[in-house]
Structure formats: C-alpha cells, structure tokens
C-alpha cells in the first residue's frame, strides 16, 4: 500500500505533458475563429508606387471546410460571390450568371492573397504536423499538406505560446520555394470569447514591392443552413444582407 501511494505521489509530481503539435494546431484553428462564423473583411492591395485597391467582403463559414464570401465593394465587384467546399472553389459573377471553377492558387482579387487565403478553411483540415519545436516564446510547427490539391505543400507556423495564435507563417511550394510570408498582428477582442489578430499582412519574394493586407471586423459565431453552401445558392447570397 505504501509503495502504491508513493508511486501515485511521484506521478502527481511530474510536470504536465506538453501539448503535441496536432493539439496546438487544433487550438490555433479555434482561437482564430469559431468553427461556424460570420465576419467582414477588407482586403487592401498595395502597389510598388503606393497606390491601393480595396475590397470589402462578407464571409460565412460552416464546419471545417465550407466557406462563402460575398463582395460588397468596390461597385464593379459588388454581388460577386465565392464558394469553397473542401478543395473545390467557384466564383459567381452576376454578369456571367453561372459559377465558374477557380483554383486555390488563383486570386479573385488579383492580390498576393490567393483564393486559399481568402476562403481559408481549418488548417487541421488541410495539413498534418510533421515536427514541433519549442522556443522561448513560441512553438514552431512544420506542416505538410495532406493532399496535392492544397495551395501550399508546406507551412512553417510560429505560434505564440501564451495565446496559441499564429504570429508568422511561411508558405512553401513542393520544390521548397518560399511563396509568401503571412504576419498576424493587432490582437483584438471581438467578444464572445474570440480574441485574435485583426490584421494579416502578406508579401512574396515573387512579387517584389507588392503587399496585401486583410483587416477583420464583426467576427462572431453564427449558424447557417447547409443550403447556403451550395452552387445553386451562390446567386442568392446577397439576399442574406437585405
């Protein structure tokens, strides 16, 4: 009995096991946003000469891999809508009148943010954690795409230890080429237990002098019927805001 009691005391004295990489990534997903939400985002594309082009989108996400985004401005893009179902993506343009398939590496805005960034689904839906390194203030996760359909073959994600939120992400092609770097800034309390970066900035060595910024607002938990995340509903998405 004394031996058993001593063993139990020794086990209690051991430090708590550190989170493994997959657990960290799952927490990153939920800390960035609820599994189902609505939000507004402004995308700002900055040219080498300092000129800017801005877009405002209303976004909805349901589950781990369904996203819809509706363009509210500029006037030339108002009414356009995009849908993502896992790795499949479509763009609806009112003047065309039907959804058109697009790829993850294309950009419906022409910015450094591609369609995979604009219609982002859970990282855990797309990536496995290969290695986890612990540094003083951050974890460094090396992520590998689960399939060849994912926009980036590998990600290096630096995660704030205290907040379990990304600080910097480097995105790589299968060749090892660095495609872009994303920087997460301006931690904001959105209410409802959601506290995350309100600003994401990105640049690419392939597009020197260009920069894109994504600003989040109005992020909150929301529930939607499955019907909204279908091709047939894309022409009607704007009705949700009337």
State pLDDT tens for residues 192-241: 999 999 999 999 999 999 999 999 999 999 999 999 999 999 999 988 87
- pTM for the model: 0.89
Decide if 105 contacts 115 (C-beta within 8 A): yes
State pLDDT tens for residues 142-188: 999 999 999 999 999 999 999 999 999 999 999 999 999 999 999 99
What is the residue-averaged pLDDT of the chain? 91
- CA 172 – CA 181 distance, rounded (Å): 9
Query: In the predicted model, is pLDDT for residue 105 greater than 70?
Result: yes
Query: In the predicted model, is pLDDT for residue 16 greater than 90?
Result: no
- Residue from 166, 182, 167, 181 nearest 214 by CA: 182
Cis omega (within 30 of 0) for bond into 164:
no
- CA 94 – CA 65 distance, rounded (Å): 25
């Amino acid at each position: 009995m004394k031996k058993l009691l001593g063993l139990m005391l020794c086990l209690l004295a051991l430090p708590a096991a550190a989170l493994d990489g997959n657990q960290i990534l799952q927490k990153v997903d939920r800390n960035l946003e609820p599994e189902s939400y609505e939000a507004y985002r402004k995308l700002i594309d900055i040219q080498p000469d300092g000129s800017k082009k801005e877009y405002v989108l209303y976004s909805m996400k349901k589950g781990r891999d369904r996203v819809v985004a509706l363009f509210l401005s500029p006037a030339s893009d108002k009414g356009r809508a995009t849908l993502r179902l896992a790795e499949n993506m479509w763009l609806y343009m009112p003047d065309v009148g039907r959804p058109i398939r697009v790829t993850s590496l294309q950009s419906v805005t022409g910015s450094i943010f591609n369609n995979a960034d604009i219609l982002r689904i859970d990282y855990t839906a797309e990536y496995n954690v290969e290695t986890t390194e612990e540094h003083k203030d951050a974890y460094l996760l090396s992520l590998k795409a689960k399939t060849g359909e994912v926009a980036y073959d590998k990600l290096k994600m630096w995660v704030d230890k205290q907040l379990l939120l990304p600080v910097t992400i480097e995105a790589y092609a299968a060749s090892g080429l660095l495609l872009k770097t994303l920087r997460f800034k301006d931690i904001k309390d959105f209410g409802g237990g959601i506290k995350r970066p309100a600003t994401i900035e990105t640049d690419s060595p392939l597009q020197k002098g260009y920069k894109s910024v994504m600003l989040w607002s109005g992020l909150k938990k929301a529930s939607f019927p499955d019907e909204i995340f279908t091709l047939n509903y894309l022409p009607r998405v704007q009705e949700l805001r009337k």
